[in-house]
Amino acid sequence: MNITKIGVTAITLAAIGALTLSGCAGGGAAPASKANADAIISTNGSEPQNPLIPTTTTETGGGKIVNSIFAGLVYYDATGATVNDVAEAITTDDNTTYTIKIKPGLAFSDGQALTSNSFVDAWQYGALLSNGQLGSSFFSDIAGYSVETDSPLTGLTVVDDTTFTVALTAPLADFPQRLGFAAFYPLPASAFADMAAFGESPIGNGPYMLDGPKAWKHNEKIDLVVNPSYDGGRKPKNGGLSITFYANEGAAYSDLLANNLDVLDSIPDSAYGTYESDLGDRVVNQPAAILQAVTIPARLPHFSGEEGTLRRRALSMAINREEITKIIFSGTRTPASDFTSPVLDGWSDTLTGADVLTFNAKQAKKLWAEADAISPWTGSFQIAYNADGGHQGWVDAASNSIKNTLGIDASGAPTPTFAQARTAIADRSIQTAFRSGWQADYPSLYNFLQPSYATKAGSNDGEYSNPEFDALLARGSAEADLTAANSDFQKAQEILLQDLPAIPLWYANVTGGAGVDVHGVVFGWDSVPLFSEITKG
């Protein structure tokens, strides 16, 4: 009998480690006598796309908040290791049926009891088709899930207040590893009375909670304070978080330099030449599980069928990634050779077809001419992006590379905010190519591939569908051996390299910094600071 029990399970991550920043010459955390346990840590963020409901939060602006106010069965430490949080034990003897025991006596921040039903009811809500939750596909492996009709997750069974079971449709060895993602967070019983109202002022069970019912000031900031009910591994060493939704990264960086911001997790490209000298030992530059790409939906004119495939390949080979990452990003990005991230176990830079991601002006022109023979190109090629995210520099550079190589009109198409850009992408009203990318939810190749490219997946914004790709994902996720699973995922990527539903550009490092009075800053494997560890004073 092969029993899998999740306590602390290390994931092999190539070339990654947590980097601790210090605001003083001595390094490390502030001395206990000097640190102010009530200090509020200020940081940057962006206006969430949606109400703060875990099952519909699939972007980084909302994710930074949701992951702070909720706690799942497990969480991921700085290196990507899986650690029990609400779970006492997760066991299985066949990788198909899992028994989950949660710690007794837990409660949400308002005192409501946290039981097995808190998870089961939340998952049922998140998976139900008519609820339209963006993270619903994360439940697709649980028995009863449907994308065609409203159907309950028949694979979920409550045994008692602290025990429930999960029956999957096929073996998944990494199922416990997935359970730290936001879609699997619990919800209090009160949430279901009015989910829209709950999303504006959510009640969670995590290390922080909203500082009152009006804590979320839309398009401005959100204030969080310590949740006294939380007693897990992420117990805060500070008094709370104040997350400001900056209109652009330059303003956030200016606040950091003026010591009006404690932690910044993204340096603007305009400061790449100076940020290391500006910040000294308060700077961070480390690999993270982030991929930047451009998605070109097949519904756009000239981008369906064989013509569309030829044009995507031509555009990809017309972008000089090496030059852009060197000049625009000062080496804080690495040209992509696949659809995932080099910090993940199983990553490969030798996939068949990866040459399409290498600058080749001659081949790009040839492919574009072949597409013109099918249907002559008309119009301008535009890349939409959110102007509050520091993307103009690279979008302009990529557009110029395309323009100079293919001899067509190409330019960026800015949208003021991330939330506005995401809304246009999600409701399919956007009529251009657009900036896309992925910041991992959990450390796995599968997590980069399934949500963005599986048929009808929640983050499949280009509406890509390929049955062969889907089959390889399913086969890989059912493998008992991680090496075999990763082999399947690599084969699935080779299909993506042929179809190019998105054009991978580069892998991102997390580049950030801390204020002069701030200590114990650790950026995790996913580029997000471990806020609970930060002290000030």
Q: Which domains, ranges and CATH numbers included, belong to the chain?
A: 40-262+515-536 (3.40.190.10), 287-509 (3.10.105.10)
User: What's the token pair of residue 65?
Assistant: 């908040």
User: What's the token pair of residue 508?
Assistant: 């991102």
Query: How confident is the model at residue 481, as a pLDDT?
Result: 78
Q: Give the Cα separation of 438 and 424 in Å (integer).
A: 18
Query: How confident is the model at residue 32, as a pLDDT?
Result: 47
More confident residue, 9 or 33: 33
Range 90-102 average pLDDT: 94
More confident residue, 259 or 81: 259
More confident residue, 17 or 470: 470
Whether the pLDDT of residue 246 is over 50: the answer is: yes
**Which one-letter amino acid corresponds to residue 509?**
N
DSSP string for 150-218: ----TTEEEEETTEEEEEBSS--TTHHHHTTSGGG----GGGGG-HHHHHHS----SSEEESSTT-EET
Query: How confident is the model at residue 94, as a pLDDT?
Result: 87
Q: For 307-328, how does the pLDDT look when each residue is reduced to its tens digit (9 = 90+)?
A: 999 999 999 999 999 999 999 9
Whether the pLDDT of residue 23 is over 80: the answer is: no
Opening angle at CA 80, ends 492 and 240, nearest 5: 130
Label the pairing between strands 8-9 and 82-84.
antiparallel
Q: For 486-522, how does the pLDDT look when each residue is reduced to its tens digit (9 = 90+)?
A: 999 999 999 999 999 999 999 988 899 999 999 999 8
Query: How confident is the model at residue 11, as a pLDDT?
Result: 31
Q: What percent of the chain has pLDDT over 90?
A: 79
pTM for this prediction: 0.75
Q: For 419-450, how does the pLDDT look when each residue is reduced to its tens digit (9 = 90+)?
A: 899 999 999 999 999 999 898 888 889 999 99
DSSP string for 123-140: HHHHH-GGG--TTGGGGT
Task: Report the 10 Å Cβ neighbour count for 50.
Answer: 18
Q: For 266-281, how does the pLDDT look when each residue is reduced to its tens digit (9 = 90+)?
A: 999 889 989 999 999 9
User: What's the token pair of residue 368?
Assistant: 């574009």
Query: How confident is the model at residue 441, as a pLDDT?
Result: 82
Candidate ranges 298-302, 476-480, 522-526; pick with highest mean pLDDT: 298-302
Query: How confident is the model at residue 1, as a pLDDT?
Result: 33
Q: For 100-156, how does the pLDDT look when each residue is reduced to its tens digit (9 = 90+)?
A: 999 999 999 999 999 999 999 999 999 999 999 999 999 999 999 999 999 999 999
Contact 194, 202 (CB under 8 A): no
Query: How confident is the model at residue 440, as a pLDDT?
Result: 86
Query: How confident is the model at residue 106, as a pLDDT?
Result: 98
Contact 148, 129 (CB under 8 A): yes
Among 13-27, 258-272, 508-522, which is the least confidently predicted range? 13-27
The label of the residue with tokens 């009529």 reads 431
Question: Count H helices, E strands: the chain?
Answer: 14, 23
**Which one-letter amino acid corresponds to residue 256?**
L
Residues 6+ apart with CB under 8 A from 89: 5, 6, 99, 100, 101
247: burial class by Cβ within 10 Å (0-12, 13-18, 19+)? middle
Element (H, E) at 384: strand 381-386
Whether the pLDDT of residue 414 is over 80: the answer is: yes
Contact 525, 288 (CB under 8 A): yes
Q: For 197-218, how does the pLDDT look when each residue is reduced to its tens digit (9 = 90+)?
A: 999 999 999 999 999 999 999 9
pLDDT category at 331 given cuts 50, 70, 90 is: confident
Write a three-state SS string for 246-302. Answer: CCCHHHHHHHHHCCCCCEECCCCHHHCCCHHHHHHHHEEEEEEEEEEEEECCCCCCC
Query: How confident is the model at residue 533, as a pLDDT?
Result: 96
Residues 6+ apart with CB under 8 A from 173: 4, 95, 479, 480, 481, 482, 485
